[in-house]
């Protein structure tokens, strides 16, 4: 346990200033009594309460995060502080006042009313002081939490952007483009067109909720064409969309993560590369779309199909079709296979 002694000293000084103010206020209301004993009593009581509460809460493990023990412990600590201040503080102050003869003409034998008044002052001042520190701690804690939350939100936004525009893919594609410009300008132009379409689709994906299956397949074509230029003979692919399903409305970029997973986890790690096939077909009242690759199979998303991309697809399917749609994923040594089934009538 580390104690920030600098902060504690600051608290003590504030407490002493507060005690000074209390003593002065008290003197203002009872000018017939001498000032010095008021001050000595106030300082001793305040210091004892400070010691019990401010140092005591450090010893409570529950107080570590917020700086204040939760629930009844907080009240108990304050009560203990005030009681200790009342008895120990008063006893010490009395000792000091006698030793230095501060009572002066005041015979210091007070009536019951005076004792009650002093007790009330101790109680009220103690509570006010404690509440002041409690409130300061709490607002500092909340401020810290707020900043943390803000930072988390920023991190999440950045992370999302980075997954959307995966920099590694981006710069490799640009490097290919740069190479193509020198050797094959028409092909470079075609590659650039695919890249523009891919970027536009990726950046727009959050805006359009659904689009026709034809558009979805066009975007896959853009992406796979980019990858085919990069990977050369290591990648072959086939896209198969029957005309009757072309206008079916599907969540935008639903298949994109599946194909990207196939490339990233299936084919890129495989030395000899492989093949991706995306096929849609009608099965009764349902549409079945399959993404099949001949990659390394066991991959970063876990063979149980719990990866981020798959979870997201399942969520989108569930929110659009409820239990009517499904995603099954399996992977083995021969590659990975994802199968989406959607109701034909959305």
Residue 83 phi, psi dihedral angles, 5° rounding? -65, -45
Name the residue among 216, 168, 195, 219 with its Cα closest to residue 316: 216
Q: Does 176 bind another protein (CB under 8 A)?
A: yes
CB of 296 to another protein, least distance (A): 8
Please, which residue, 13 or 174, has the CB nearer to another protein? 174
Q: Does 172 bind another protein (CB under 8 A)?
A: yes
The string of DSSP letters for 118-176 reads HHHHHHHHHHHHHHHHHHHHHHHHHHHHHHHHHHHHHHHHHHHHHHHT-HHHHHHHHHH
Give Rg (Cα) of the chain. 37
Among the candidate windows 4-12, 42-50, 175-183, 317-325, which touches another protein by CB under 8 A?
175-183
Please, which residue, 92 or 228, has the CB nearer to another protein? 228
Site for another protein in 28-87 (CB under 8 A): none
DSSP 33: S
Please, which residue, 125 or 259, has the CB nearer to another protein? 259
Q: Which of 105, 113, 333, 345 binds another protein (CB under 8 A)?
A: 333
Site for another protein in 256-285 (CB under 8 A): 268-271, 273
CB of 179 to another protein, least distance (A): 3
Among the candidate windows 1-9, 73-81, 103-111, 180-188, which touches another protein by CB under 8 A?
180-188
Residues 278-317 vs another protein: string with x where CB under 8 A? -------------------xx----x--------------
Tokens coding 335: 């590659």
Please, which residue, 37 or 295, has the CB nearer to another protein? 295
Tokens coding 136: 């300061």
Q: Does 171 bind another protein (CB under 8 A)?
A: yes
Instruction: Give CA–CA dist 148/154, Å, rounded.
Output: 10
Instruction: Give CA–CA dist 346/341, Å, rounded.
Output: 12
Instruction: Give CA–CA dist 82/125, Å, rounded.
Output: 9
Please, which residue, 206 or 330, has the CB nearer to another protein? 330
CA distance from start to end of the chain: 61
DSSP H helices in 30-111: 35-50, 56, 72-84, 90-99
Site for another protein in 110-139 (CB under 8 A): none
Name the site residues for another protein (rule: CB under 8 A): 167-168, 170-172, 174-180, 182-183, 229-234, 268-271, 273, 297-298, 303, 333
């Amino acid at each position: 346990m580390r104690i920030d002694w600098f902060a504690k000293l600051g608290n003590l000084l504030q407490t002493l200033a507060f005690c000074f103010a209390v003593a002065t206020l008290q003197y203002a209301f009872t000018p017939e009594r001498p000032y010095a004993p008021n001050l000595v009593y106030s300082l001793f009581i305040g210091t004892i309460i400070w010691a019990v509460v401010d140092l005591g809460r450090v010893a409570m493990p529950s107080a570590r995060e917020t700086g204040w023990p939760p629930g009844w412990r907080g009240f108990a600590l304050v009560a203990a502080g005030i009681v200790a201040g009342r008895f120990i503080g008063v006893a010490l102050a009395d000792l000091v006042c006698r030793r230095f003869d501060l009572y002066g003409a005041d015979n210091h034998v007070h009536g019951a009313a005076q004792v009650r008044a002093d007790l009330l002052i101790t109680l009220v001042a103690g509570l006010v002081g404690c509440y002041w520190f409690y409130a300061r701690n709490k607002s500092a804690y909340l401020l810290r939490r707020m900043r943390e939350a803000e930072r988390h939100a920023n991190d999440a936004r950045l992370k999302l952007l980075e997954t959307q525009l995966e920099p590694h893919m981006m710069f490799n594609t640009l490097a290919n483009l740069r190479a193509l410009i020198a050797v094959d300008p028409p092909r470079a132009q075609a590659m650039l067109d695919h890249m523009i379409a891919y970027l536009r689709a990726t950046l727009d994906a959050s805006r359009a909720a659904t689009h026709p299956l034809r558009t979805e397949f066009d975007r896959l074509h853009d992406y796979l064409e980019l990858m085919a230029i990069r990977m050369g003979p290591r990648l072959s692919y086939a896209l198969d969309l029957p005309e009757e399903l072309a206008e079916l409305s599907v969540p935008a970029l639903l298949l994109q993560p599946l194909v990207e997973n196939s490339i990233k986890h299936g084919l890129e790690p495989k030395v000899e590369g492989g093949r991706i096939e995306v096929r849609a077909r009608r099965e009764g009242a349902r549409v079945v779309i399959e993404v099949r690759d001949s990659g390394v199979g066991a991959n970063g998303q876990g063979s149980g199909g719990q990866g981020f991309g798959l979870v997201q697809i399942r969520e989108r399917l569930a929110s659009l079709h409820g239990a009517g749609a499904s995603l099954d994923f399996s992977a083995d040594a021969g590659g990975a296979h994802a199968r989406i089934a959607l109701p034909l009538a959305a």
